[in-house]
């Protein structure tokens, strides 16, 4: 781990804290796909999961530890022997590994959650760090709910954890309670009052309950913290974590004031954000900082005039800095495979031969329907390839819908399975519902729509409709995504995408 005093370590917890939030659960393969992209983003640490929490989490941590190279792979463990042992087993394949152990230290946690005492909690913390240190060199200790912890006890437990071998000590604002000036002052006081603090990296983990997670994290860095725990798109428990993309770009854009930097490859930010949306099916708001659809859009005449004359009049960073392109029009129906592959690479996508061939076929079909192909169209095609299970059980062929104000909506759908064409019909409350019912009749897999979102990619009447949805099937939630110039077809593809994930046992 870099010990450069001007280098801030980016600890990504999208796969652990982020995945714990409702609607963001991911399969093992989806976690692995995102972990590979986080490695391309060049985060320093990937917190891959909480191995003891479930067999699935254990396996996802183990698989990421086996496959993903570059970042440190971390696993979370309570201050319990079994948790630490499980974490060690899951992390064994990793070349660079970290055990992250934690315990509640505030009065609320000690008295009401653990029904314990300060002295017992301190002993548990020391024992946990010591056990973890017996397995790995890199051990992180978190004093959960540090902001509401008695300050003297916080100093004592941090000092004891460092003496026991902790190389990083984390100061979490677990419930998002702190105000930036207050939190910065707290970090300064920790630096002054913990005698051995220079032997460890000081970390912060801020939640966004008051909308201050990023501000608190930056205040902590100014006070001397050198690791930030964050998540892509700011996902996480309740109102979420500090958003990785906002932190990285704030540090990069205001390096003159922050006087620190990160090792993150910022040009991978947009792709990472879009990949997470594709995997989870949960969209971000258009005005989201850095990665929102409107982050680099200008509608005001004054703004447009200024940007056309000189970009810096109304933009403090460029779309290129996060991996976006100004050039929206890229390809047409006469474009060849080589040009297609090259443009995907420029957008940050590298596909295997089979996936590239499949994506190219979809591109050609779309190019026959549209006069202009935009980067957003290409991204939607690739997202379908990434989000589609390998060897899907069912393949979409066609859908015909009858609907109107005085007509019962009906849909006839054709799917293919093992080379056989399957056809059935369904009725519903609307054309999308009827189409989904027809797919259920063919696949014999029934689900309940939890969420449904549709947005336009590009501009014009022939713009591609991008549908993302979540479906509850047998108490599991599956995300689905599909795109087409026909919104009913896009909806059918999204529903089938979710059904296929269930069918192949994802």
Say how far apart CA 195 and CA 169 lie, in whole Å.
13
Place of tokens 């995300």: 479
C-beta separation of 157 from 102 below 8 A: no
> What is the per-residue pLDDT for 329?
40
173-210: burial string, b at 16+ Cβ within 10 Å, e else: bbbbbbebeebbebbbebeeebeebeebbbbbbbbbbe
Domain ranges of the chain: 9-280, 294-324, 325-387, 395-503
SS3 79: coil
> What is the per-residue pLDDT for 316?
84
Helix ranges (H only) for 143-243 are: 151-163, 180-193, 213-222
SS3 388: coil
Sign of CA dihedral 62, 63, 68, 74: negative
> What is the per-residue pLDDT for 387?
63
What's the DSSP call for residue 223? T
Place of tokens 């989870």: 280
What's the DSSP call for residue 369? H
Residues contacting 236, CB < 8 A, separation 6+: 13, 17, 18, 20, 21, 207, 208
> What is the per-residue pLDDT for 326?
58
> Is 395-503 in the same CATH topology as 9-280?
no
The DSSP element (H or E) to which 487 belongs, if any, is helix 487-503
Say how far apart CA 6 and CA 244 lie, in whole Å.
18
- Write out the two tokens for 444: 């014999």
Say how far apart CA 80 and CA 87 lie, in whole Å.
11
This model's pTM is above 0.85? no
Residues contacting 328, CB < 8 A, separation 6+: 374, 375, 376, 458
**Residue 463 exposure: Cα atoms within 13 Å on the Cβ side:** 14
Fold of 9-280: TIM Barrel (3.20.20)
Kindly report the CATH class assigned to 395-503.
alpha beta
Q: What residues form DSSP beta bridges with 399?
A: 413
Say how far apart CA 174 and CA 17 lie, in whole Å.
11
Residue by residue, what is the 3-state secondary structure of 242-254?
A: CEHHHHHHHHHHC
Say how far apart CA 387 and CA 506 lie, in whole Å.
11
- Write out the two tokens for 364: 């050609």
Dmax over CA atoms of the chain, in Å, equals 78
Q: Count other C-beta atoms under 10 Å from residue 338's C-beta.
A: 8
Residues contacting 111, CB < 8 A, separation 6+: none
Name the percent of the chain in helix, strand, coil, to the closest 5: 45, 25, 30
Give the pLDDT means over successive 10-residue stretches in the chain (506 positions).
Answer: 80 94 83 95 98 94 97 98 98 98 96 93 98 98 97 98 98 97 98 98 98 98 98 96 98 97 96 89 88 72 59 78 65 76 75 84 82 72 69 92 90 95 94 95 93 78 81 86 90 93 77
The candidate with the shortest Cα–Cα distance to 269, out of 286, 287, 252, is 252
The candidate with the shortest Cα–Cα distance to 21, out of 278, 283, 235, is 235
Angle (nearest 5°) at CA 243 between 238 and 246: 150
Distance of CA 4 to the CA centre of its chain: 28
């Amino acid at each position: 781990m870099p010990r450069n005093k001007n280098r801030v370590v980016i600890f990504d917890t999208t796969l652990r804290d982020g995945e714990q939030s409702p609607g963001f659960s991911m399969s093992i393969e989806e976690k692995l796909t995102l972990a590979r992209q986080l490695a391309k983003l060049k985060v320093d640490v990937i917190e891959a999961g909480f191995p003891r929490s479930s067999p699935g989490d254990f396996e996802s941590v183990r698989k990421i530890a086996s496959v993903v190279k570059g970042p440190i792979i971390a696993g979370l463990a309570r201050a319990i022997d079994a948790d630490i042992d499980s974490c060690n087993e899951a992390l064994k394949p990793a070349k660079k590994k970290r055990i992250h152990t934690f315990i509640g230290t505030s009065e609320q946690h000690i008295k009401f959650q653990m029904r314990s005492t300060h002295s017992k909690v301190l002993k548990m913390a020391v024992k946990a760090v010591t056990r973890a240190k017996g397995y790995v060199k890199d051990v992180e200790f978190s004093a959960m709910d540090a902001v509401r912890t008695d300050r003297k006890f916080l100093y004592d437990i941090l000092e004891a954890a460092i003496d026991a071998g902790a190389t990083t000590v984390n100061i979490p604002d677990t419930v998002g309670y702190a105000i930036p000036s207050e939190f910065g002052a707290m970090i300064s006081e920790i630096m002054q009052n913990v005698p051995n603090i220079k032997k460890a990296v000081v970390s912060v983990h801020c939640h966004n309950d008051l909308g201050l997670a990023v501000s608190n994290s930056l205040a902590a860095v100014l006070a001397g913290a050198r690791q930030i725990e964050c998540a892509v798109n700011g996902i996480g428990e309740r109102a979420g974590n500090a958003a990785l993309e906002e932190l990285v770009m704030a540090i990069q854009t205001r390096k003159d004031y922050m006087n620190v930097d990160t090792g993150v490859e910022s040009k991978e930010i947009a792709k990472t954000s879009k990949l997470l949306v594709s995997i989870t099916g949960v969209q971000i708001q258009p005005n989201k900082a850095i990665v929102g659809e409107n982050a680099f859009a200008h509608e005001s005449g004054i703004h447009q005039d200024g940007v056309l004359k000189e970009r810096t009049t109304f933009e403090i960073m460029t779309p290129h800095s996060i991996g976006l392109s100004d050039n929206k029009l890229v390809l047409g129906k006469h474009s060849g495979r080589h040009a297609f592959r090259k443009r995907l690479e420029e957008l940050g996508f590298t596909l295997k031969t089979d996936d590239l061939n499949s994506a190219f076929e979809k591109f050609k079909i779309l190019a026959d329907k549209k006069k202009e192909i935009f980067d957003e169209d290409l991204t939607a095609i690739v997202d379908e390839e990434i989000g589609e299970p390998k060897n899907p059980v069912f393949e979409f062929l066609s859908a015909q819908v009858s609907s109107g104000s005085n007509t019962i909506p009906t849909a006839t759908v054709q799917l293919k399975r093992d080379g056989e064409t399957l056809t059935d019909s369904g009725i519903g409350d609307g054309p999308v519902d009827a189409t989904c019912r027809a797919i259920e009749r063919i696949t014999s897999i029934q689900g309940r729509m939890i969420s449904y979102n549709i947005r336009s990619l590009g501009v014009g009447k022939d713009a591609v409709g991008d549908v993302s949805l979540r479906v509850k099937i047998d108490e599991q939630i599956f995300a689905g995504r599909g795109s087409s110039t026909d919104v009913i077809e896009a909806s059918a593809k999204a529903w089938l995408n979710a059904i296929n994930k269930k069918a192949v046992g994802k």
